[in-house]
Chain A
Amino acid sequence: MVNLRRLQSAFVLLLTVAGVSGCAGTPVTQDLIRSPPSGLPRTAEVGTVPFYPQTENHCGPAALATVLNFSGLKTTPETLSKSVYTPGRQGTLQTEIVTGVQRRGRLALPVAGMKDAFREVANGRPILVLQNLGLDFAPQWHYAVLVGYDLNDEHVVLRSGKTRRLIEDMGTFEHTWRRSGFWGVSLARPEGPVPETVSMSSWLRAALGLERAGRPADAVTAYWTAADRWHRAATPLVLAANVMIGQDDLDAAERTLRAALRRDEDNAVALNNLANVLMLREKWSEAESVARAAVDAGGRTSQAAAETLSTIRKARPGRP
């Protein structure tokens, strides 16, 4: 496989060596200040975001408590540190932040970049960000919460460390955030609303995270929210139906899969899964014809469809 990481660093190095380093710096900040995206206010701040000062090395739990409380869940950094703080590493891993959010029934949505982050802040959403306050070869990782920005004065506002309202130069923030690959998370409730900058696939992936965290009911709610927001897409309904199958609610699963097919009649996964549900409900003749349609639809899941069809044919009682 292509090693893109290596490729990137080689290319960046090449440019730097070639003396093009004049390009390096804070392109996003420059771009945002010179030509801000349409509709983005010059300044914004979510003043109502609470503040939990961190104790030593505990910036992860403090930042997580900040965004969880803002999204309506009462908790403290002390409570959280039991589950998200890794003493051996003297810090919190990104995956622990994400699972810490999911286990409490919120979607952890990736926000990968300053433009989206500012847009969400303008919409009243704080963003949990991972910064590297050191350098790449001597990292000093730090979690903070972005709550505001000012394009006129070129700064951002963070809940960070022991400072409630840390004003940081926008260029500095870009540097420190870039070093984590712009790792950022915003929280959403399963019932929505869906943040403006979130794509359907990010939302669905975050909803699947709720399922994995043992919260199937929240996951289903999140799938329905997606079905509402992207009202022509079949996939959210297919996902919801699978949870229903897992809960043995075959009637609801069947109805949901039929709704998915009304949105996209050739959806191979919906056809295949509906055939499975119909088989379980012993609606043999329709199960077989739907399975055949799934096979005909082809696509990446054609193997599964072929299995479904052959299982139905084997299991089907002989016709009178």
Chain B
Amino acid sequence: MSMRKTRIKAIAVPVVTAFTIAIMPITPVEAGLVENDRVIETEQTAVDRATVDNFIKREDVRRQFELLGVDPAEAEKRVAALSDEQVARLAGQIKDAPAGQGAIGVIVGAAVLIFLVLLVTDLLGFTSVFSFTKKGSANPS
């Protein structure tokens, strides 16, 4: 009997050990490696930020800012403080609109620009034309 127990133990120990090794992280690298999903996300965020930054630096946009009494330098600072998600949505709007192909594509030309500028200034807390922008955007930080 005890021999059998020993034999079971002789099998069980390596098996359990093998399983333990199998479920342990293969390498400690898992902790700090930036995986590809994340790499893509980081890349996309950089692209979106550049889209928004370029938009608010445009001459015609700056003129609209001034008409609204918004200091462009302050606007830039507030854009920098927007969350990645807010920036992504805004970038999507900007990319779609001038080509007239987004959901708001039926509005053309100057109206698009003013719409986008108001969207930006609302998000940044300078204006509050659209009541929908209030929730969650009062604190751009």
B28 near A311: Cβ-Cβ < 8 Å:
yes
Q: How far is the CB of A279 from chain B (nearest CB, A)?
A: 7
Residues of A within 8 A of B86 (CB): 1-2
User: Provided the pairs A2-B123, A4-B89 are in contact, do residues A304 and B37 lie with their beta carbons within 8 angstroms?
Assistant: no
Count of chain A residues with a beta carbon within 8 Å of a chain B beta carbon:
59
Residue of A nearest to B89 (CB): A4
Count of chain B residues with a beta carbon within 8 Å of a chain A beta carbon:
44
Q: How far is the CB of A220 from chain B (nearest CB, A)?
A: 11
A315 near B42: Cβ-Cβ < 8 Å:
no
Q: How far is the CA of A160 from the CA of B40 in the complex (A)?
A: 35
Residue of A nearest to B93 (CB): A4
Q: How far is the CB of A264 from chain B (nearest CB, A)?
A: 12
Q: How far is the CB of A203 from chain B (nearest CB, A)?
A: 11
Our pick among A5, A239, A309 for the contact of B36 (Cβ within 8 Å) is A239
Q: How far is the CB of A62 from chain B (nearest CB, A)?
A: 26
Our pick among B33, B101, B123 for the contact of A182 (Cβ within 8 Å) is B101
B123 near A11: Cβ-Cβ < 8 Å:
no
A2 near B36: Cβ-Cβ < 8 Å:
no
Q: Is A235 an interface residue (CB 8 A)?
A: yes
User: Provided the pairs A1-B136, A7-B130 are in contact, do residues A239 and B40 lie with their beta carbons within 8 angstroms?
Assistant: yes
Residues of B within 8 A of A114 (CB): 101
Q: Which of A66-74, A149-157, A185-193, A204-212 is the contact stretch?
A: A204-212
Query: Which residues of chain A from 1 to 37 have any CB-CB distance to chain B below 8 Å in the complex?
Result: 1-12, 15, 20, 23-25, 27-28, 31
User: Provided the pairs A7-B130, A27-B108, A201-B43 are in contact, do residues A269 and B29 lie with their beta carbons within 8 angstroms?
Assistant: no
B133 near A7: Cβ-Cβ < 8 Å:
yes
Q: How far is the CA of A114 from the CA of B104 in the complex (A)?
A: 15
Residues of A within 8 A of B34 (CB): 269, 272-273, 301, 304
Instruction: Mark B9-53 against chain A: 1 for CB-CB distance below 8 A, else 0.
Output: 000000000000000000111011111111110111101000000
Q: Is A81 an interface residue (CB 8 A)?
A: no
Q: Is A166 an interface residue (CB 8 A)?
A: no
Q: How far is the CA of A299 from the CA of B34 in the complex (A)?
A: 13
Query: Which residues of chain A from 123 to 162 have any CB-CB distance to chain B below 8 Å in the complex?
Result: none
Instruction: Mark B115-141 against chain A: 1 for CB-CB distance below 8 A, else 0.
Output: 100010001000000101101110000
Residue of B nearest to A115 (CB): B99
Residues of B within 8 A of A170 (CB): none
Q: Is B107 an interface residue (CB 8 A)?
A: yes
Residues of A within 8 A of B101 (CB): 28, 112-115, 178, 182
Our pick among A201, A242, A272, A300 for the contact of B47 (Cβ within 8 Å) is A201
B33 near A276: Cβ-Cβ < 8 Å:
yes
Our pick among A15, A245, A304 for the contact of B32 (Cβ within 8 Å) is A304
Q: Is B106 an interface residue (CB 8 A)?
A: yes
Residue of A nearest to B133 (CB): A2
A276 near B40: Cβ-Cβ < 8 Å:
no
User: Provided the pairs A2-B136, A242-B39 are in contact, do residues A12 and B32 lie with their beta carbons within 8 angstroms?
Assistant: no
A28 near B100: Cβ-Cβ < 8 Å:
yes
Our pick among B32, B36, B102, B132 for the contact of A10 (Cβ within 8 Å) is B132
Our pick among B37, B45, B89, B130 for the contact of A208 (Cβ within 8 Å) is B37
A3 near B44: Cβ-Cβ < 8 Å:
no
Q: Is A93 an interface residue (CB 8 A)?
A: no
Residues of A within 8 A of B105 (CB): 27-28, 178
Instruction: Mark A72-91 against chain B: 1 for CB-CB distance below 8 A, else 0.
Output: 00000000000000000000
Query: Which residues of chain A from 160 to 215 have any CB-CB distance to chain B below 8 Å in the complex?
Result: 178, 181-182, 199-201, 204-205, 208, 211
Q: How far is the CA of A106 from the CA of B133 in the complex (A)?
A: 40
B39 near A235: Cβ-Cβ < 8 Å:
yes
Residues of B within 8 A of A113 (CB): 99, 101
Q: Is B67 an interface residue (CB 8 A)?
A: no
User: Provided the pairs A1-B135, A28-B101, A112-B101 are in contact, do residues A23 and B107 lie with their beta carbons within 8 angstroms?
Assistant: yes
Q: How far is the CA of A272 from the CA of B43 in the complex (A)?
A: 15
Q: How far is the CA of A171 from the CA of B11 in the complex (A)?
A: 75
14 additional A-B residue pairs with CB within 8 Å, beyond A7-B133, A8-B104, A12-B104: A1-B137, A2-B89, A5-B103, A15-B106, A15-B107, A23-B108, A27-B105, A201-B43, A208-B37, A242-B33, A242-B36, A279-B29, A304-B33, A311-B31
In the complex, the 6 A-B pairs of residues with the closest C-beta atoms, listed nearest first: A308-B32, A113-B101, A307-B32, A27-B100, A24-B106, A276-B29
